[in-house]
Each structure stands twice: as structure tokens, then as C-alpha cells.
Structure 1
């Protein structure tokens, strides 16, 4: 848990106990200023365990309630909990629906529900997924268990894709542990489908989750192993196969960039492998010959460049990230889904900040907010960027930055 989230929880429980900041500070043997900085997320780190224990005691709550009580959660946390609860259902865990007495949802209806939820995700609307994904998981599990023949195979494919959506949403919500759980389940469901395209798609989602969860080396292995195992089958599937194959190499590239970023001894050696994965993705994009959104990959030459931007950001190469972002033709960028465009803008803002262009970074974030507000205002990754800019200062953009921070529910 970061210091902003911890401070917000302390403020929530202090208010529940009808204590002013001055009163709570007195109970803690601290000043009101200390409480302000703690609750506003402006202290350098979350307090030591002994201090956290004392805070819980003074607020008359357990440590678990202070740190994990769902009452004090952001909406995104509650959405993640709803998906987690669905994944923990016995029928969803086992795939057996013996206690279900109704008819399974027809696969055509299930497919429309998945397309609707995925379309919303790519439009940058993540808020409804906490209700949509659990229903998809339950309905797809029942369909896979109760249908027969081709409908059963299709239900397994749709279950795997629904689990992929759970992984992707969990990444947006900042719950990387949930993302890994959903990603692993997607891989298992994809294997049951027997479809190489679905297997590759699930592997690329799991690799994404592993990288986000600090398991970057494992993510590279998953992505490259899947690409090697499924290569021939995917090439035979034409454009759809090339799209998921290319995405595997893009995920390998980001995983490798994260490996290099975490390597304290030989980061340059680890970083040298990143361009190779990006180049392999480019080869498949060239064979595809266009930008497309088959199986919600947004794969093509433009998305490959987006991943080059992201890799530069991960490697702290801010100027190169900005240069790569600026090389994308406006028309090609405009044709991508809103989520992809907004994600690029937040990556570009990261690059601009690291290149010392903090005022420009603020304007880039405002552009991303206008395009897909939830990508900026609700995503922990982007909120951390806003908080970093607050700490560093943004010159003439300071007022706009503080307004943005307020909309992100961060201390201004």
C-alpha cells in the first residue's frame, strides 16, 4: 500500500471516530502538521510498523480493518473485490455447476455480453466492469460445463477471454495479484478450448500481469515459450494468429525492459534484449500489413510503436520515449481505441517528466483525461505520475496540475 492510500484510510477512520486532526495528533503525541502530512500522502513513506500499530490502537480498530476494510476502499477496490469474489466461487474454481438448475446462457448471448464489456474497456470506461465481469465469469463457467459439442468449445473460448478481461481490468485498478490470478485461470481455460489463438491470447495477458506484479523474468519466459510453441499454428491462422503472436513479443519486450530496470548489476546487458523482441513484433505487424483490432489486440505497426514508447519509459529513457511518441502519424493514432490512445499519452507524459519537460507533461495528461478520464483519474499508475509532478513542481502549469490532482483525489 502506498503512502497516499494509507493516509486516506487514516483520515477515513479518524473522521469515523469524530476526532479532529489536532485531537488525533495529541493522542499520537504528534503535531497537527504531522497528521496533515500523513493523511495527505505528503510524508516520505508509510510509517513504520510500530507507528501503524499505534495508529490502529488510537483509532480503536484492528490493523486488518485499518489496512484492508472494504468500507474505506476506492470504487476501483470494490470492483476488484467483486471480481475476486467471483473467482473464488466454488463453481467458478472447479468448473462444475451441479447446483445450477437452469439452462446455460446461449453462447451467442454470452459472446455479445463479452463484446459489450470489451468494447467499454477499449473506450476507457472501466467503472462498469466490476459488475459485468463477475456475471460473465459465472455465465461462461455454466456454459462451458453444460453445453455440448461446438457450443462447449466456444464456451471455453469465451470463458478464457472473460478471464483475460478480468486480468486487464485488474491491471487498470492496480491490483496486480488479482491480475495474475485471473491470468493464470485464463491460460488454463484456454488450454481446455484447444484453440491456439486463445492460448496465445491468454499467455500474453498472463505475461502482462506477471510484469506488473514484479515477476518480469517469468513474464518473458511465458511470452516467448508460448510464441515458440504456437508459432506455426498461429501463422497458419492468418491475420488473427499474427496479431496474437505479435502481441506475445510486445509483452516479452516490456517484461525484458522491467528486468533491465530492476537489474542493479548488469542493466545494460538486460536492456540489449528489448529491441530484439520489439523487432520480432514489427516483423509480424509488417506481415499483417495494417493496424487492426482482431481479438481486441489493437495490433499493427502503430501499436508496436506504442510499445516502443512504453519500453523507453520503463528504461527511464524519457527523451527517446517522447521522440517515439511524436513519430506516430496523427491519423494512425486517431484510429486506435481510446484506451490505447490515452495509455500512450500517459506514457508520453512519463517520458516528458523524465526528460525535464514537466509543464508539457501536465498538458499531455490533461489531453489524456479529455480522451479517457478514467485512465487518468482512477488508475493508480497515472495518479502516481500526477503525485510525482506535484512533488517536482510544474512551473507555469502548477495551477492546472493542482486542479488535476484534486480531480484525482490527491493532495494539491
Structure 2
């Protein structure tokens, strides 16, 4: 049982029953602190079945509903606000922490926390990041301020990567302004790290945020400038360098496709540049010679194919996207993180809608939901797709679509 998800569900249903934490504590014959730690996912041990059963009884819901309610998978606004508040803290903005004698978090411990959070993201667990990210940002900022020498440079690397994670999570939550803010901060921290690999990694994330925020043309200019500046250094850095360099060109392709879709007068000319960026990324994937997940890039030939699908979808070329997706070898797909596979399925569902295959699109979305529920029931872009399919009609898939719409929290 995931402590953070379980705590979120308890808080959700306690609020639905209009109980304060103090009142719920009294019903459970526990302390207020016990309830705060339970709902915050900070209990050291997972609640056992007897405790979960008692909680369900006190909240007047079935145990199954307490343990699994898809709508509660999504982050609550207060958690996103907590991430925003962390980014707005004076110490996080300035990098100047208090002068207390408290020891900064060791970089090894900081790295473990980041790896845990990043692994959760790639597994398709985005909501719990609202709890994890604020502490990561504060701890990494403090580590960069107080450590010295190599540890300080490593702390700046980890701070940049933590800000990248913030950007990626914000995009999943649909908060593109938050994503851009985090992306800019990640680039600044990466420069302090003096590590070209981290600089390139931060640049690709900022380009993604800018594209999502409607600044696609600026994203193309920025990310291609980063690739030009860093390429020579990255080619000397082995597989990690190739991976982040290839990702810069993949993000350039997506930004270019978004710019083309937003420009009615120059659409065709802008769209013609997209395959060139994809081909440059594919060249680096061929040099890498395998699919890998260095620095959480999932970079390699298979991810390049996923981006070709996504670019066709962005350009409203649904039939082409479906054809590319069909040619991706299933064994290669299974080696990618769940987030990547579910993202491909949602892209494919959009392509199927574009191609008029709406019943198939519903089944593809259900497949994605089974793989990574939060990628489907929580993401604004997927909810828009579900709403579009409801308006267009899906024939024999209407019943299945109604169930999915309910799990997405959409009104009936």
C-alpha cells in the first residue's frame, strides 16, 4: 500500500465527510499528529488492513473505495500550491539559506531522494510528487549553499535535476506557467554545476515547458542554440552526452511542430523542418547503439520513434502517426518506462481520433489507463481527448467511454 496515495485518499474522504483532522482523530481514538502524518504520507509503516478497515468504517465508505479511487489519484490543488510556494521561497530563489548550524543533507542522501522521486515519475506516479518536490528543492538549495568543492558541484547538479522534475511534473498537472518557472531555474542551476550534460538536460526540459506554454518558436531557438553550444563537449561525454544531445533535437522537433501548427501562413515551411530534427536525434541514437535511460532520458532508437509519433500527432497527421506506432517493435516498447509507454498510447489514441477511428481510440486509452492510470485520468490533455470523443461519438465504445469519463472526474 502506497503511504502517500493512501494518505491522500483518507484526506479526500475526510474532507468529503466534512470532518476536521481533530474530529477524525477523535473518531479513530488517535492523536491529531497521527492523522497529520497519515494524510501526509509520513507514517513510518504502512497502515495494516485492520486500520484501513476502521478508517473506511469511520468515513462511511467501502474498503475497496478507500484503497482505490481513481479520481483521488490526481494531485489536489493544495499540493500543487505547495510546489509553487517552494519555488517562491526566498532561499530557493536566491540560493541564500539561513545561517543556522543545521547540517545540509549529504549529497548521497539527496541523490537517493531524487532517484526515488524520478523513478516514481517514470512509473507514472505523478500525484505524489506534490509531496516530494518541495522538500527536494529546499534540501538541494541548502546543500548547494553549504557544501564545498566537488560536493557543491554535485549539489548544483542535483538541484538542477530536481527543478527539471518539478518542470516535468507541472506539465503533467497542466500548469505550464509553473513548468516554465521551474525550467528557467533548472537552467540557472545547471550553469552553476559547470557540467555540460546537466546543462543540456536542463535545456531540453525548458524547451518542453516553453512549448507547452505556447512559446514554441522561442523554444526552437533556445534548444537549437543549446545544442550548438554544447555539442562538442557532449560528444566527448560518451553515452550520457549522446543521450542528452539527442533529446535536445527531439525537443526541437516537437517545438517546431507546435510552431507549425500555430502559424497558418507558414505552416508548410515550418513543418518541413520537423523531420530534420528527428533525423538528427536518430543519428545520435544510432551512435548510442541501444535504448537506455541515462539521466532519465529513455533515449535510444525506440524513444526516437515515439517522438516521430508525437510529432505527427502535433501536426494533425493521424494516419502517419498510427503507421509509425505500428512499426515499433513490441519487445523494444516493453523495455521503456511505464510513463513513456502510456504516453505513446495516449498519442496513438489522439492519432486514432484524428483518423476517424474513435472506437479504437477508446480502447487505446483504456490500455493506457491500465498501464499508468494517472497518465489518463489526471492529465488535462487526456481529459480533453475524452471530452472530444464524447462529443464526436464512439459507437459501440460509448459505454466504455462513459466509465472512463467518470474515472477522469468529468461531469456526466
* TM tier, smaller: 0.7 to 0.9
Which runs of 5 or more residues in structure 2 are unaligned?
Answer: 1-15, 17-73
Q: Which residue of 2 aligns with 1:141?
A: 141
Structure 1 residue 81: Cα displacement: 1.2
Relative distance call for 1:248 and 1:146 in structure 2 (3 A) is: same
Q: Spell out the pairing of 1:215-254 with structure 2 (5 A cutoff).
A: 215-254=215-254
CA contact (8 A) 2:220 2:256 kept: yes
Q: Spell out the pairing of 1:148-163 with structure 2 (5 A cutoff).
A: 148-163=148-163
CA contact (8 A) 2:240 2:295 kept: yes
Q: Spell out the pairing of 1:28-107 with structure 2 (5 A cutoff).
A: 75-107=75-107
Structure 1 residue 78: Cα displacement: 2.7
Work out the CA distance in 2 between the residues paired with 1:307 and 1:153. 32
CA contact (8 A) 1:77 1:173 kept: no
1:176 aligns with 2:195: no
Q: Which residue of 1 aligns with 2:20?
A: none
Work out the CA distance in 1 between the residues paired with 2:355 and 2:77. 33
1:322 aligns with 2:322: yes
Deviations 1:172-223 (A, max 9, x none): 0000000000000000000000000000000000000000000000111111
Work out the CA distance in 2 between the residues paired with 1:116 and 1:258. 32
Structure 1 residue 77: Cα displacement: 3.0
Q: Which residue of 1 aligns with 2:344?
A: 344
Work out the CA distance in 2 between the residues paired with 1:233 and 1:79. 39
1:287 aligns with 2:287: yes
Work out the CA distance in 1 between the residues paired with 2:116 and 2:98. 28
Deviations 1:48-72 (A, max 9, x none): xxxxxxxxxxxxxxxxxxxxxxxxx
Deviations 1:315-367 (A, max 9, x none): 00000011111110000001000000000000000000000000000000000
Deviations 1:233-282 (A, max 9, x none): 00000100000000000000000000100011120111000000000000
Q: Which residue of 2 aligns with 1:109?
A: 109
Greater mean deviation of Cα atoms: 295-304 or 91-100? 91-100
Structure 1 residue 304: Cα displacement: 0.3
Relative distance call for 1:206 and 1:339 in structure 2 (3 A) is: same
Work out the CA distance in 2 between the residues paired with 1:86 and 1:207. 22
Q: Spell out the pairing of 1:311-390 with structure 2 (5 A cutoff).
A: 311-390=311-390
Q: Which residue of 1 aligns with 2:191?
A: 191
Work out the CA distance in 1 between the residues paired with 2:293 and 2:404. 31
Secondary structure of 2:125's aligned partner: coil
Greater mean deviation of Cα atoms: 219-228 or 197-206? 219-228
Structure 1 residue 231: Cα displacement: 0.3
Structure 1 residue 80: Cα displacement: 2.0
Secondary structure of 1:75's aligned partner: coil
Work out the CA distance in 2 between the residues paired with 1:363 and 1:77. 30
Q: Which residue of 1 aligns with 2:48?
A: none
Work out the CA distance in 1 between the residues paired with 2:212 and 2:396. 33
Work out the CA distance in 1 between the residues paired with 2:369 and 2:76. 17
Work out the CA distance in 1 between the residues paired with 2:338 and 2:137. 25
CA contact (8 A) 1:256 1:271 kept: yes
CA contact (8 A) 2:75 2:128 kept: no
Secondary structure of 2:135's aligned partner: helix
Work out the CA distance in 1 between the residues paired with 2:360 and 2:99. 57
Work out the CA distance in 1 between the residues paired with 2:161 and 2:283. 26
Deviations 1:111-155 (A, max 9, x none): 000000000000000111001100000000000000001000000
Structure 1 residue 99: Cα displacement: 4.0
Work out the CA distance in 1 between the residues paired with 2:131 and 2:276. 40
Work out the CA distance in 2 between the residues paired with 1:98 and 1:193. 22
Taking structure 2 as the reference length, what is the TM-score of the superposition? 0.82
RMSD: 1.0
CA contact (8 A) 1:227 1:245 kept: yes
Deviations 1:92-125 (A, max 9, x none): 0100112443000000000000000000000000
Taking structure 1 as the reference length, what is the TM-score of the superposition? 0.82
Q: Which residue of 1 aligns with 2:47?
A: none
Work out the CA distance in 2 between the residues paired with 1:327 and 1:356. 20
